[in-house]
Chain A
Amino acid sequence: MSFDYDEYLRLDKFPLFFCSGCGDGIVLKATLRAIDHIGLDKNKVMMVSGIGCSSRTSGYVDVNTLHTTHGRALTFATGIKMVRPDLHVIVVTGDGDCTAIGGNHFIHAARRNIDITVLLYNNWIYGMTGGQVSPATPTGACASTAQFGSIEPNFDIVKLAQGAGASFAARETVARPVPLERLIEQAIRRKGFSLVEILTPCPTTYGRRNKAGDAVQMVEYLRTHSVSQARYAGLEGEDKDKAIVTGTFVDEERPEYTDEYRKLVDRVRTR
């Protein structure tokens, strides 16, 4: 009845290096349940990560794994997916890794609609390097490089993906592991660029600086502030500002990049 996660783990690398109360392990577990539920062959799963706490996930999973340079996971993943379109390519990245230094690759992978699942762990901060401000840090929140409060507007990452032409974009939090698992499964199953933005707490850097409490309190915050798109429509004022809108925002069928490339080859091939 209980799920045997160990089958998917490089057990000799445990315990996980993440801080106490970091939500990243919750996302990993949801991902493994999704992979298992679909019934994917481990040999056909390719996990590509960037640099940051969430990107360390790849070292722990017993599939094909690649830990790349900061912000560039999608570029390595594109090369892999092109030459092995049969592999299930999952990119694990963070809010800084993907939308700051990696922003260009993010929008182009979305534009191409290349069949890659992007699990973007959004903890509103650069955790690994000690808590610097990221493009996802809420305006006014504190970080080590925004000690008087961030003056910058933050990205709505789902909107960014939509603007870039993503055919699938969804958001959930670690407070609801089962809906999270379902979204990840949906993202992996479907063909095309599939973004799942996952809100996850960093009690160590974001939590401390912003007096957001411990892990339990931060996860509770995520839970109580999550609203469906339907409910969000009726919100006003601070409720609206602080709302974390969850669910699927776009899910459309579009021509997938490697399919289109294969069609091109079929059209022009001479040998």
Chain B
Amino acid sequence: MSIERPSAGGQPSPARPKKPPPEITVRVSWCKSCGLCVAYCKPGVIAMESDLPQIVAAERCTRCLQCEAICPDFAIQVHERPAEAGGGSATS
């Protein structure tokens, strides 16, 4: 849903560019293929392929951090990407 906020001149603001998806990494040697991260990812960002979690739909990530919280092996990590030059908004 987009919200239009009227500016002083009555012109609608341009829509903000979307934040780049976070970087989701897996420390492969620590992963034990339990599948909990896949089960806990509601938007379906992660899928198991050859016994390892693969990021198949990074753009769907809502940063809920459930995959991180549920991984018993400290394998999967969610990092914000550093801000891009020019273009997109700064990420915090």
Contact = CB atoms under 8 A, between A and B. Distances in A.
Nearest to B79: A2
Interface in A21-75: 21-26, 29-30, 33
Given A20-B32, A219-B36, A2 B72 contact: no
Contacts of A14: 30, 74
B72 A22 contact: yes
Among B22, B35, B38, B79, the one with the most A-chain Cβ atoms within 10 Å of its Cβ is: B35
A7 B72 CA distance: 17
A221 interface: no
B90 to A, nearest CB: 13
A219 B39 contact: yes
B67 to A, nearest CB: 11
Interface string A164-186: 00000000001001100100000
Nearest to A19: B32
Nearest to A26: B72
Interface in B63-92: 63, 65-66, 68-74, 77-80, 92
B74 A5 contact: yes
B33 interface: yes
A15 B29 contact: yes
A24 B32 CA distance: 13
A174 B38 CA distance: 16
Given A9-B74, A15-B30, A16-B74, A2 B36 contact: no
Interface in A207-257: 214-216, 219-220
Given A21-B32, A216-B34, A219-B39, A2 B69 contact: no
B80 A29 contact: no
Interface of B: 22, 29-30, 32-36, 38-39, 63, 65-66, 68-74, 77-80, 92
26 contacts: A1-B63, A1-B65, A1-B92, A2-B68, A2-B78, A3-B68, A14-B74, A15-B29, A15-B73, A16-B72, A16-B73, A18-B72, A18-B73, A20-B32, A21-B34, A23-B72, A24-B72, A26-B71, A26-B72, A174-B70, A177-B66, A178-B69, A215-B35, A215-B36, A216-B36, A219-B39
